Amino acid sequence: MWYTRVMKFNRRILPNGIRVITVPMADHPTVTVLVAVEAGSNNESTEQNGISHFLEHMCFKGTLKRPTSLAISREFDRIGAENNAYTSHENTAFYAKSDRRHVSLILEIIADIYQNSTLPEIELEKEKGVIIDEMRSYEDMPSRDIHDVLAKLLYGKQPAGRPIIGTTSTLGVLTRNDLVAYREKFYRTEGTVVVVAGGFDESKIFEEIIQHFGTVERKSGREKIAPPELSAERVALKKKSTDQAHIALALPAFPVFHPLARALKVVMTILGGGMSSRLFQKIREEMGLGYYVYATADLYMSHGYGLIGTGVDPKRVREVIEVILGEMKKIVREGISQGEFDMAKDHLTGALFLELETSDAVAEFFVNQELKSLPLETPNERAEKYKKLSQNDIREAAEILFSPEKIRLALIGPFENTGEFQPLLDSATVGVS
C-alpha cells in the first residue's frame, strides 16, 4: 500500500516565517491543502471566549476575490472538492481536499481565505445565529457535551476550562472590529503552517506555495501558553433528564512532549482502546452495563490527561465507576502481561496506518506534530517508537496517571447532587500499596 511509502516529506520555512510541509504520496488520487495557525481558545480572554471559532466561521463569508460565501462554495463544488475548518484549544485550521488535478486551484482558494477574508459586517449576526444553533446541538448530545463539563471541572475559568465554541453571552457582544484585531494579533506568519499532502507534482508545488504565501507580511512571535492549574473540585454534575447517564473520568498527567507520552497511550489502549480492552470487556460484554466505552489520551502542549468515558443506566453509575477504578488499581498493582502489552502496541500501530489512508489524514498527521513543536516523524518512525517501549515505561506512566488525588469525575444524568459520587473518589486508593 502507498502509506508504507510515506517516508518522505519536506519541511521548509519561507522568509516571512511560514512553515511549509509537503508530503508526496505517489499515485494517490487526491490531494489536501491545509493551513493552520497557532490561534485557538487558549489565546482568548474570558470576555472574548469563542472568538477563535467565530473567526473561523467568518473567514468563509467572502474574500476580496470571492466576495460571498456562495462564490467560495461554488469554486469548491464545481470540482467536487471537500472543504472545511476547525478550531481547537491550540489552533485553527482551514483545509480543502480534491482530485489531484485541482491542487493548484484549492491551494489558491485556501490561501485567499487565509489572507483576504473580508469578514463582512452584514454576515455577523446571521453567523452568530448559526453558532448558537451549533451550541444547542451540542446540548442535545450528552456524549459530546460531557467533554465541556469535564474541561470546566478540570480547569475552571482558565482558558483550558472554557468551551471552544464560547457562550451565547460572549458570542453576542463580539464585533467585526474584535475579529479584525484578534486576527491581526494572532494570525502571525511565524505561527502559520501550510501542509500539502497527496498526489501532486513535487517539482512544481513549492513554487506555487511561494507564489501564494511568500508575499504575506512577516509577523513575528509565537504565543506561549502557561500550564493550567488543576481545580480543587473533584466531581461535576450536569443534571439532565436522560435514560442514559454519561461519565467522563480524567486522569491528569503531562503534556504531549513528555518522554512517557507514548507509554500513556499504551496504558489507555489497554484500558479502553478497543473491543477487547479491559473496560469494554468488563463493562459491556461481561456485565452488560453500557453501550459505549472508551479510553484515550488528550495531550496538549501545556498539559494532558487520560480520559475514560462511557454511557450507562443511571441506576448503575456507581457500579461502573467502581469497575473503572478497580481496573486502574489492577494495572498499577499487578502490571500487564507481555501479551497484553504487545497487543496494545500492535493496535496503536495498526490503527495509525488505517487512519492515514487519506490525504487529509496525512496532512493532519504532520500539521499536528508541527503545531505542537514535536520533531517531525513519519508513520513508520512512530510505529518503531511504539515497538521500543518497555514494560518499565508502562509502569512509570501508570503510576503518574493513576494518582488518586488528581482523578476528576464529570457526569450528565438525572442526579440531584455530587454527594453520592464524591466518596468513590475519596476512597480510590489506586496507587501501589
Q: How far apart are CA 50 and CA 303, in angstroms?
A: 21
Beta strand 30-37 with 290-299 is unpaired
Cell of 310: 462511557
Can you name the residues that pair with 409 across neighbouring β-strands? 235, 249
Note whether 19 and 191 are within 8 A (CB): no
Compute CA 42 distance to the chain's CA centroid, rounded to the nearest angstrom. 13
Strands (E), 38-181: 82-87, 92-99
- State the DSSP H helix or E strand holding residue 140, giving kind and residue range, or none if neither: none
Catalytic residue status for 370: no
Cα-Cα-Cα-Cα dihedral sign, residues 408, 156, 301, 9: positive
**Which among 195, 115, 188, 159 has a CA at the least distance from the CA of 370?**
195
Q: Which residue has the cell 488518586?
A: 404
**Which among 190, 138, 194, 185 has a CA at the least distance from the CA of 166?**
138
Q: How far apart are CA 65 and CA 59, in angstroms?
A: 13
Q: Which of 38, 44, 47, 56 is catalytic?
A: 56
Amino acid at 286: E
Q: Show which residues are catalytic.
A: 56
